[in-house]
Amino acid sequence: MKSKDYRKTVFVIAVSLGVIGGGFAWFRSPGAEINARELGMIAALILVVAFALFLAFRRLKSVKEKLPAEDEMSRNILRRGAATSYYLSLYLWLVLMMLEDRLELEGHTLIGAGIMGMAILYALSWIYHRYIRPSHD
């Protein structure tokens, strides 16, 4: 029987591949147009999925080496990254609210861009706390 961590990791990989497949199916649909706005959303989606796959394959490597999926340091990095991205996301939403009248976006597109921005901010803050400024307290 596979471990719970292995099943979680495989699930994350499957969801990521499903998102890639859905994006490819949308891209290949007959009425799809690619302009600068959609290209930006596609790039953001690729960044978020790439980050998820990066974390999943790191976790899969740990599971195969019979190491714990989460240790104290990785939980600390996740916590610090979440705290940093939370505060930055508040400012992101404030900027989006200020620019709402100037942007020619529909409401659901603006909300989607905000959520995508939050995911990117989390990935960047995780990278910052993991590689750029690791603290060991």
| pLDDT tens series, the chain, 137 aa | 467 778 888 888 888 888 888 877 877 777 767 777 777 777 888 888 888 888 888 888 887 888 776 778 888 888 899 999 999 999 999 998 888 888 777 777 788 888 888 999 999 998 899 888 876 54
Q: Which pLDDT value is given to residue 37?
A: 72
> Which of 47, 69, 91 is the last residue before a domain boundary?
69
- CA dist 135 and 137 (Å) reads 6
| The one-letter amino acid at 3 | S
94 plus 109 within the same structural domain: yes
75 plus 29 within the same structural domain: no
- CA dist 46 and 24 (Å) reads 11
40 plus 94 within the same structural domain: no
- Give the domain extent around 82: 71-137
Q: Tokens in use for 71?
A: 């240790």
Question: pTM for the whole thing?
Answer: 0.74
| The one-letter amino acid at 29 | S
Helix and strand totals (H; E) in the chain:
4, 0
Q: Which pLDDT value is given to residue 32?
A: 67
- CA dist 116 and 118 (Å) reads 5
Exposure string for 67-76, b = 16+ CB within 10 A, e = fewer? eebeeeebee
